[in-house]
Chain A
Amino acid sequence: MAAADSPFTALRHDLCSRGIRLAGKMRADVINLLDAYVEQQGLDASSSVAAVEGVPLAAVERWDEQTGTQRLLENLAAYRAFRALLAQMLEEQQEQLGEADMGLGRALAAVLLQVSAFTYHLEELLRLESCGIPGEEGDGTPPPPCLSLFEQKLRGLGVLRELAQWAVRSMRDLRQLAKPGLPTGAAPGLAESP
């Protein structure tokens, strides 16, 4: 176990802190994008969207029991998937609306950039932890199904909602990871209050 003030711990803490800030900014932008998306796509913000194939769900059981490695790997898989999904959404957006709605397209592109940056950041953390970085071939999204325009819009809503949840989960995951004296393979667990 690395000492609390070792260079490794300091670097991990620094990477985690930066990651938390990245995720926080990403979340804020995704929420703004969600509002714009709902309005411009003519959707109802309160619509329930069933889980869509290929969209990584942020929901997790026994979150407090996960090891640091599990957290990083699940985050990485999720953001790689979001990267592909957002690229798809951007393409669909441009096909549907062309030049008519560049604002939404730009906002989508900006979030895609942040997701790419965060993905890279997670890879950095995994390298630091000397964990092998899984190749991307295994977790690429399936080919886009043939969806109607409305189904595409609902899918997009689902993507953005889950991405917003993932951003919060990532902040929490990185805070767990940044806890001093915690090896990546250990599960911190929450202290039970009386």
Chain B
Amino acid sequence: ESHIQYERVGADVTMKCGSMDWDAAVTWTANGTDIDESHLNGSYLILKNVDLSHSGQYSCYEGSSWHLKYLTYLRVGTPPKEPVLMCRSNNYPKGFYCSWHLPTPTYIPNSFNISVIHGTKDMVCEKDAVPKNRCHIRYLQLFSTVKYKVTLTVTNALGKNFTTLTFDEFAIVKPDPPESVVAKPVPNNPRRLEVSWQNPSSWPDPESFPLKFFLRYRPLILDQWQHVELSDGTSHTITDAYAGKEYIIQVAAKDNDIGTWSDWSVAVHATPWTEEPKHLTTEAQITETTSASTSSFMAPPTTKICDKGAVVGSGAMAVCWTAGLVVAAYSVLFI
């Protein structure tokens, strides 16, 4: 014979050896380890001020025969605290879901019961397979001023607790964040970034229930965000980016008319277009090599000794060579 015995943390626990008399000779073990007789009161096992470590399998054996008489699975835990309940509609106008959790663990099994009332009507909240602490409801009515009342009761062997949420249809509408946010530089525009995104896939009908968006962006080197609210479309061009600085960008969504803003999307990074630094021409590179071996004097990279784009014909070539010789001669003077 066996049973599960649930006890509160801090309680004094008495375990009986099944139907054995108080004065029967018995031996107790805890998880296979003998228990000292000092914990016994007759055939009863007494554990004082139990804590979580006392949880386990307690076996009671008849004294002489070591015949197992009774098995007690002791589970030490706590009654449930008030659960935390949240309800939200991320797929309006289809329905909403409620999810819950306990603020602190009880260490023993809990069962949850949820009731949803709309006016006088009881509604069924269908439990999700995954995650287990969630259920969803389909709206039977839209545009109702009557509030929804959701009560969640949590029960375990040591007690019960509950919480209630009351809300109206519009207040809990909160889309998921926009998806597939992409930010790209705009060619030949050092201060622009093109950002695009998609409606969250959980939002069932963006055409009839359009979303508006909030975009925020800042260069990584600064803490302050810039914000832009966009009432339509799923793209925006930032035109005031700092040239050459890497930006972090996020987008949030909200139903155009009701509810609250989504969480921010996953952040994306982008740097505006910058002009490629001009490389020196072959002639200039030779000149550079010559002068580098004699001194540290180097023409700065922006100095165009020979503009690659302007080098056409032997005349320009001659100018480049001449410039190279002059630089070489000048360098020697500085040895």
Contact = CB atoms under 8 A, between A and B. Distances in A.
Interface stretch (A79-87, A89-97, A165-173): A165-173
Interface stretch (B139-147, B287-295, B297-305): B139-147
Contact of A59 (B93, B143, B204, B208): B143
B210 interface: yes
Contact of A179 (B94, B170, B207, B210): B207
Interface in B116-159: 140-147
B205 interface: yes
A60 interface: yes
Interface string B187-213: 000000000000000001101111000
A165 B93 contact: no
Interface in A27-59: 27, 48-49, 57-59
A35 B145 CA distance: 16
Contact of B143 (A49, A168, A176, A193): A168
A172 B208 CA distance: 6
Contacts, number: 59
Contacts of A64: 93
A61 interface: yes
B147 A175 contact: no
Q: How large is the interface on B (under 10, 10 to 19, 20 to 34, 35 or more residues)?
A: 20 to 34
A190 B205 contact: yes
Contacts of A61: 140-141
Contacts of B23: none
B107 to A, nearest CB: 38
Nearest to A175: B208
Contacts of B258: 168
B141 A59 contact: yes
B142 A191 contact: no
Nearest to A59: B144
B142 A60 contact: yes
Chain B interface secondary structure, helix, strand, loop or mixed? loop
A63 interface: yes
B257 A24 contact: yes
Interface in B84-107: 91, 93-94
A161 interface: yes
A23 B143 CA distance: 14
Given A24-B257, A48-B147, A168-B258, A60 B141 contact: yes
Given A63-B93, A190-B205, A58 B257 contact: no
A123 interface: no
A121 B144 CA distance: 24
B6 to A, nearest CB: 40
B208 to A, nearest CB: 5
A175 B207 contact: yes
A63 B143 contact: yes
Nearest to A169: B143
Interface in A1-47: 24, 27
Contacts of A193: 91, 94, 204
B145 A162 contact: yes
Interface string B252-270: 0000011000000000000
Contacts of B257: 24, 27, 168, 171-172
Nearest to B205: A190
B144 A175 contact: no
Interface in B21-64: none
A35 B210 CA distance: 27
A169 B170 CA distance: 11
Contacts of A63: 93, 142-143
A101 B107 CA distance: 61
B141 A172 contact: no
5 contacts: A24-B257, A60-B141, A161-B145, A172-B209, A191-B205
Given A48-B147, A166-B143, A168-B257, 4 more contacts: A59-B142, A61-B141, A165-B144, A168-B143
Interface of B: 91, 93-94, 140-147, 170, 204-205, 207-210, 257-258
Interface of A: 24, 27, 48-49, 57-61, 63-64, 161-162, 165-166, 168-169, 171-172, 175-176, 179, 188, 190-191, 193
Task: Give me the 5 closest cross-chain CB pairs, A-B, nearest first.
Answer: A59-B144, A58-B143, A169-B143, A63-B142, A59-B141
